Structure 1
Amino acid sequence: MTLIDLSPTVLRSPRLDGLPVAIIGSGPIGLAAAANLVERGIDFVVYEAGGAAASSLAAWGHIRLFSPWRHLIDPAARRLLGATGWTEPDPDVAPYAAQLIDLYLAPLAALPEIRSRIRFGSRVQAVTRQGMDRTRSAGRSSVPFALRLQHDSGEASEVLARAVIDASGTYSTPKPLGSNGLAPLGLVDVADWISSALPDVLGRDRARFAGRHTVVVGAGHSAANTLIALAKLAREEDGTTITWLIRNDTAARVSATVGDELPGRASLADRVRRLIDAGAIGVVDGFEIDRVARTPRGVAIGGSRHGTTATVEADEIVAATGFRPDLGMLSEIRLDLDDIVEAPRRLAPLIDPNVHSCGTVEPHGFAELQHPEPNFFIAGMKSYGRAPTFLLATGYEQVRSIVAWLDGDFAGASAVKLVLPATGVCSTGDASSQSCC
């Protein structure tokens, strides 16, 4: 294992003086990082690829989150908003993702001390050190970071930063549909028949699914949300049918609800089970996808089931197979990632989905999130790599600790505390989709 120097002295270099902290992404974790930096008087800039705060979250705004408001608001953000007369939502209510934006994230992003530092329409394509690739070692920690940006205007630019917090999430990089971790053979020919996770079945995407046979691929809660919406659509639109295709023999993460303190999660599982028992959802288990192909009507999904060649036909496919971190943008950054989970190596044992649920993750902060690249951190959903056990409250404590570290407050950064709701078995076996906050 690579040893990382945790002493506060690694932060200081005159060449970095006057440069801001760069935050990648203006979702809940990126904005929480911004709020913590505001409180400590540290300059920062937020780079957001979309045209508004939390643009990835807005893509699934029709989905209700599992966690109630009490677990969804960052403490530093609460303090900043409270000073403006902001009214905090009912702590016991679980909001829709769109409400999380409208009632919390949008007001937070609109605060003058934060809004003035957000650069919308600025996608970070790469992070490196100024004038250095990853092989250069001498004096590396004293050299500013350089972020390559692609702007909506079509122009590209580079900006410098003293530190980087990558809170870009994973929603834009879904896991491939193939059971072997690769795109299935023939994918290019059928891409128009495949939807990403959490389509708005009862809203903007209704016409796509009404009166058609949809196969939902994936064994997690994203799949369950879509199955429930499709079942409602089937009651309203004749000819709408649903098949749930999973790789394992059971959808363990959806069906296990014992001890779950998040009522929305337990309710979701119960509703899916009732729909299956009623025959509203057909289930094909033990199916491993390796190819897809066009048919006169739609798509043929090919692979094997329990060791025998099998095919399932569909009009539409929803790929609720989970997400992966985009590490391509970090190819010139020195990372220390777990070989399996793709989380920071010190964090990986604490979030291993074979062992932990969302509510059993141990408190962790800057020490577990550091990489051999000084002053570079991955936070939030992306820090969990391929593990589907992330809750927003975990990410808020991550960035609080990181910002304290960047401020030279070693004691504050090390005093990591986290109280999470018990969530039963929210991840076992096939980690195929992320949990909803």
Structure 2
Amino acid sequence: MTEESSRELDNPYRGFYQLSGYILSDKQKPEKSADWCRKSCASNPYPLMLLEINLKNYSNTSISTNAKNQLDKILEECVRAKKQVILRFLYDWDGQALSTEPSDLPQIKNHISQISSTVNKYADCVYILQGTLTGNTGEMNHSNYGDINQIRQIIEALDQNISSDIFLAVRTPGQLRGILRTRTPLSSTDAGNGSLQARLSLFNDGMLGSVYDLGTYDDTPLQPDSNLDEQGTRSEELLFQYKLCQYVPNGGEVTVDNEYNDLNNAIADLSQMHISYLNSEHDTAVLYKWKNSTYTGSRTDVFSGCTGYDYISTHLGYRYVMKESSVDFHSDLSDTASLYITIANTGFSSAYTRFDTVLFLTDESTGKSKKIETNIDNRTIAGNDCSTFKTDLDIRSLRKGTYSISLRMEDPYTENSIHFANQGAENSKTVPVGTLILH
């Protein structure tokens, strides 16, 4: 196998994102919203888009058919551009949520019911729905609905109305525990089972901003009798995220130049939190600091000498490397053999989308290829870890000769190939696995 490359990989559901915001209004026509989104997608160099939809014009009324048609046209353009959308509905962009939010909780639930059919229509495109529609800039703070029981009701309404294929996200680990009424983070046993626990993730727009991540953590350790939504210390919450976010995504934006986002500290915490997506424009001071710092790994580290920004950019989310392969020819003279493939993930996090993975056996004398389906579930390859997968080969169906084996991983929504970080395969649709010789 070739060694890992240090190049950035163009893969979906990970990396930096660009933010775009739109205010639904009956003064606007759906065709205009489509034009706006088409331009936003064209100017966004990243696969990910944080799409903020402002509902302030409908705070105390139902969302009109015209407004829902605008939302439909916007998401239709996102599909056309193959964007993966992190969607956030809100009532405020100006720090005035207390006055712009609906006057009662049933109205928020009504809005959730109204938008659900349109959002669900584009469930393949909408990756995560962030927040509870409340708070300044939709970040669940300075809200009339900040009580954990109110937050739980809104999240449960989202869970009931929004497709289970879409992740939900709340602002703090404490809120997540309070909603789910448990201190135990999601485990592999329950991951992906369609429950609220299996889809509830985190977003952090105060990331690395202070020892408390700007209100995300506290300075008092959690106690056995403390409220379930109580905030723990930084070390407690980092450990909680380490366990939880192996199975659900975590991302947001870094902020406030300080020691916690100095390069080495940032890398350690982004890795422990399993961060897969970050705002590409905020905080500029922190991003600038990373761009002007140098990552110094071990002498054999392929990233040693690159900028801190490039190191973090390449490690956001998953980063697959084909490590090794072997074939076990069964000793019972059967007509099958077992192919073992080890894939490393050097990124900060797992992938949270299952990709389609197939093998190709290519006869080197004829050039003809045979496609073999696999049961490889890439979601099980944790960040900074590796996994070995077994695939049975029907030797009987192959004539004697030499075969090159390659693997293709593809995202079913975008139909984009998942690129591996092996040198020479960074832009290829397949990655070499090995050579099989049949005598």
TM-score normalised per structure 1: 0.24
TM-score normalised per structure 2: 0.24
Larger strand proportion, structure 1 or 2?
A: 2
Larger radius of gyration: 2
Q: Greater relative contact order (Cα 8 A, min sep 6): structure 1 or 2?
A: 1
